[in-house]
Amino acid sequence: MAIDAGDLRVDYQADQLLEGQAAADPFVQFDQWFQAAKASDCPEPNAMIVATVTADGRPAARVVLLKQVTEEGFVFYTNYESRKGQELLANPNTAVVFNWLELQRQVRIEGTVEKAPAQMSTDYFQSRPRKSQIGAWVSPQSQVVPDRAFLEQRQEEVEARFAGTEELPRPEHWGGFLIKPTLIEFWQGRSSRLHDRLVYTPAEGGKWKIDRLAP
């Protein structure tokens, strides 16, 4: 089977991104774009692609959900024993992409990760719906399982185990990762493929340097 997607083209004319209008702080710029994505028709604007690398240099990527932005970086939650969890613990370098097609925008982040503080992970876990909390106990994420019935049986067992427990404890294998950026790039689609690309990198005094990249 062959797929020819060469005739699929979009002329980007939704907006522009000029140095004079960009915030000096990339976290402020991200918040402005994120709020615009939330207000638009973008489904799950907090969806982001997170890349990891295996010990022998093979990359992998998957979509996860951003849950918090702090002064230090971007936070998502996962199973630490999953493939991505193990790869991030072994090699903390990562890259992230937000793709907001409806706004013809992307945000690309490079940086390092570390485990979020345990209390932050616990607080977020307690805010989740009970079924999501149960799921964190049920799934041996990224491991091969015999069939769906195996997971459903485990779910029944976990529900029975915590039947009399009002507040489920957070599993030790589940928690947050904090992505600390060393580079944040904002991409705005423009006509004739002359897209706007502004990249922020750390500068002295806690400030950020802004450069324009050729599209």
Active site residues: 193
Contacts of 13 (CB under 8 A, 6+ apart): 104, 189, 190, 191
For residues 23, 27, 28 and 34, what is the CA-based torsion angle, rounded to 10 degrees?
Answer: 110
Q: Are 60 and 94 in contact (CB under 8 A)?
A: no
Q: Are 194 and 215 in contact (CB under 8 A)?
A: yes
Task: State both tokens at 166.
Answer: 């009002």
Q: Which amino acid is at 42?
A: C
Please state the length of the chain: 215
Helices 148-161 + 130-138 axis angle, to 10: 120
Which residues, listed in sequence order, are joined to residue 184 by a DSSP beta bridge?
109, 200
Task: State both tokens at 159.
Answer: 């529900």
Give the integer Cα–Cα distance in Å for 8 and 198: 26
